Amino acid sequence: MTRLVVVGAGVAGLAAAWEAVQRGRFDDVVVLEAAPRTGGKLLTTDMSLPDGTSLRIDEGADAFLARRPEAVQLCEELGLTDELTSPAMGRAKVFVDGELRMLPARTALGVPLDVHDPEVAAVLGPDGVAELVSADSADHAPLTGDVAIGPYLRERLGATTVERIVGPLLGGINAGDIDRMSLQAVAPPIAAAARAGGSLTSAAATNAVPADGPVFLTPLGGSQRLVDRLVEALVDQGVDVRTAAPVGSLTADGKQVLVATADDELTADAVVVATPANVAARLVSAVSPGAADLLGSVDHVSVAFTTLVFDRDDVPGPLDAAGMLVPHSASTTITAASWGSVKWAHWDDGRHVVVRASVGHDGDDRGRTLSDEQVTAAVLEDLATTMGITAAPVAVRITRWTDGFPQYRPGHGDLVRQVTEQLGADAPQVRLAGMAYEGVGIPASIGTGRRAAAALSELLA
Ligand SMILES: Cc1cc2nc3c(=O)[nH]c(=O)nc-3n(C[C@H](O)[C@H](O)[C@H](O)COP(=O)(O)OP(=O)(O)OC[C@H]3O[C@@H](n4cnc5c(N)ncnc54)[C@H](O)[C@@H]3O)c2cc1C
């Protein structure tokens, strides 16, 4: 009997189990999850409101990119396609010079596709546009290797474009500091454009894929519906999914691996470690100390993810965007806020406005250190500054994602290659999956899980 053990029941681990089942190479597939629930960062719960109603709102990820195939395909395989919905509003605003202005629509991850776009001018102002035109038209050699996003793009686009558009966008998505983030790993389309040399905006425009269909999708029941359906399908196929079963260690036993939980030890022919990288470092330390050392160098950032519900009448100003970015120069605690009930029609009950904002990012530990009361106070102060909301919310929920965001430093791609090679040499029956490796989003995480299970199925074939 051949057994695969998957450690971690986030979307990456569950996708690994799903791929293993499709391939049929293992007689027994067991998923071990530390938490009392499956799903990891895909968590959707009801938020009770004082009028006795409730809103079902995601506590973490609220959608996946539809322009990558992995999540879309998984939804098809699980029969979820009919349940998918896309944002009612796609555009976002940015807080500059004390007011909210529409972010330019025509950008590639914030890099303007046209330096003369009036929407770009509206955000940058005339001096910012002059700086952009001058930087973009200077003679730039093609990029080789990997670089930190911030310093490199300041040279290519000028400081204002980075400060007002690219930085808030890329920093916000990753809870990161663009001065310490890998261009290649975090923004591959921009890195590809930079490798062309010359004008970055022209290269980005040449590479831009014409918009076709929605950019984001999510199940109507919330992102957790994807993992719930996945667990249901796995259990139907005989997979043993265990919760409250934290794995304490992996030990080599000949070609097999002993997987220890507090009250059990499983002998596995293959293991997918689909935990955050800092946990993976600890787990693989006995089977591959070299891979563990490398994994231990991945930094993680904690965020306090805040959901606030306001009475509709208490929110001034036009709610004509899916949310807003807030550049560092505004000196706020939050770097972005999503206007959830504008973005998602199914979160809009007509009486309330849902705002989601995150506290904490790379270099700012307040997502971990502030109390709930302090987090709420900081977010409310920032919403007063940016959106003019002075009324108290009718409901607040704070979700702590401790070590929730792995940081992709310059050279991240090489680091992942080295980890994979080292682990492959020391313990080829152990593979890694999850958001720390090939992209922080749901589709990339699914992809790593499926590829890990596919490789292990082939190894044992
Ligand atoms: C606030 C927030 C917002 C986000 N928004 C989006 C978004 O809108 N779109 C998007 O695409 N992505 C988003 N993401 C990223 C997305 O959530 C991740 O890509 C994805 O959920 C990662 O899945 P995973 O399986 O790699 O990790 P996780 O979901 O972290 O799963 C890892 C699992 O391993 C378990 N575990 C840990 N240690 C052990 C152990 N010793 N034994 C057994 N199990 C263990 C954990 O309990 C957890 O369940 C967001 C993330 C956060 C934090």
Report how far apart, in Å, the C-alpha atoms of 461 and of each of 23, 24, 25, 402, 430 are. 10, 10, 7, 39, 15
- Number of neighbouring beta carbons within 10 Å of residue 286: 15
Report how far ligand 1's centroid is from the alpha carbon of 76 (Å).
Answer: 21
pLDDT of 153 above 80:
yes
Looking from the CA of residue 14, the nearest atom of ligand 1 is 25
At residue 213, the pLDDT reads 85
What is the spatial distance between Cα 120 and Cα 103, in angstroms, rounded to a whole number?
A: 8
Residue 83: DSSP 8-state? G
pTM over 0.95: yes
Specify the residue with its C-alpha closest to ligand 1, atom 26.
434
Residue 42: DSSP 8-state? -
Q: Provide mean pLDDT across the span 185-205.
A: 95
What is the spatial distance between Cα 35 and Cα 275, in angstroms, rounded to a whole number?
A: 11
Helix runs in 286-391, H state only: 289-295, 340-343, 366-369, 372-387
Looking from the CA of residue 7, the nearest atom of ligand 1 is 43
Q: How confident is the model at residue 210 (pLDDT cuts 50, 70, 90)?
A: confident
CA angle 37, 322, 382 (to 5 degrees): 85
What is the spatial distance between Cα 349 and Cα 354, in angstroms, rounded to a whole number?
A: 10
Q: Name the average pLDDT for the chain.
A: 96
pLDDT of 391 above 90:
yes
Q: Which amino acid is located at 443 in the chain?
A: P
Q: How confident is the model at residue 209 (pLDDT cuts 50, 70, 90)?
A: confident
H or E, element range at 454: helix 442-459
- The size of the chain, in residues, is 461
Looking from the CA of residue 247, the nearest atom of ligand 1 is 42
At residue 5, the pLDDT reads 98
**Ligand 1 in contact with 172 (CB < 6 A)?**
no
Q: Provide mean pLDDT across the span 85-112.
A: 95
**Ligand 1 in contact with 13 (CB < 6 A)?**
yes
**Ligand 1 in contact with 75 (CB < 6 A)?**
no
Specify the residue with its C-alpha closest to ligand 1, atom 1.
60
Looking from the CA of residue 15, the nearest atom of ligand 1 is 25
| 163 three-class SS | helix
At residue 197, the pLDDT reads 86
In tens, the pLDDT along 260-304 reads 999 899 999 999 999 999 999 999 999 999 999 999 999 999 999
Which residue among 14, 41, 358 has the greatest number of ligand 1 atoms within 8 angstroms of its CB, and so is best to mutate? 41
At residue 461, the pLDDT reads 86
pLDDT of 337 above 90:
yes
Looking from the CA of residue 439, the nearest atom of ligand 1 is 19
At residue 212, the pLDDT reads 77
Which residue among 275, 368, 408 has the greatest number of ligand 1 atoms within 8 angstroms of its CB, and so is best to mutate? 275
Do the beta carbons of residue 90 and residue 322 sit within 8 Å? yes
At residue 287, the pLDDT reads 98
Residue 144 has phi, psi (to 5 degrees) of -125, 145
**Ligand 1 in contact with 32 (CB < 6 A)?**
yes
Looking from the CA of residue 358, the nearest atom of ligand 1 is 1
Class of residue 424 by CB neighbours under 10 A (exposed 0-12, middle 13-18, buried 19+): middle
Residue 238 has phi, psi (to 5 degrees) of 90, 10
- Percent of the chain at pLDDT above 90? 96
Q: Provide mean pLDDT across the span 380-384.
A: 98
In tens, the pLDDT along 242-251 reads 999 999 999 9
Which residue among 228, 303, 435, 451 has the greatest number of ligand 1 atoms within 8 angstroms of its CB, and so is best to mutate? 435
At residue 208, the pLDDT reads 87
Q: Provide mean pLDDT across the span 425-449.
A: 98
**Ligand 1 in contact with 339 (CB < 6 A)?**
no
What is the spatial distance between Cα 214 and Cα 217, in angstroms, rounded to a whole number?
A: 7
**Ligand 1 in contact with 406 (CB < 6 A)?**
no
Do the beta carbons of residue 283 and residue 273 sit within 8 Å? yes
Specify the residue with its C-alpha closest to ligand 1, atom 4.
61
- List, in sequence order, every residue forming a beta bridge with 266; answer none if it has no partner: 259
Looking from the CA of residue 248, the nearest atom of ligand 1 is 41
**Ligand 1 in contact with 40 (CB < 6 A)?**
yes
Beta strands, E only, 254-407:
256-261, 264-268, 270-273, 300-311, 323-325, 336-339, 352-359, 395-406
Q: Provide mean pLDDT across the span 349-362.
A: 97
In the chain, the domains with their CATH numbers are 3-40+223-298+408-459 (3.50.50.60), 44-90+301-406 (3.90.660.20), 107-206 (1.10.3110.10)
What is the spatial distance between Cα 217 and Cα 444, in angstroms, rounded to a whole number?
A: 15
At residue 138, the pLDDT reads 94
Report how far ligand 1's centroid is from the alpha carbon of 51 (Å).
Answer: 33
In tens, the pLDDT along 312-322 reads 999 998 999 99
**Ligand 1 in contact with 442 (CB < 6 A)?**
yes
Q: Provide mean pLDDT across the span 430-457.
A: 98
Q: How confident is the model at residue 439 (pLDDT cuts 50, 70, 90)?
A: very high
At residue 452, the pLDDT reads 98
Class of residue 296 by CB neighbours under 10 A (exposed 0-12, middle 13-18, buried 19+): middle
Looking from the CA of residue 59, the nearest atom of ligand 1 is 1
Q: Provide mean pLDDT across the span 168-191.
A: 96
What is the spatial distance between Cα 224 and Cα 22, in angstroms, rounded to a whole number?
A: 22
Report how far ligand 1's centroid is from the alpha carbon of 10 (Å).
Answer: 5
What is the spatial distance between Cα 312 and Cα 151, in angstroms, rounded to a whole number?
A: 41
pLDDT of 211 above 80:
no
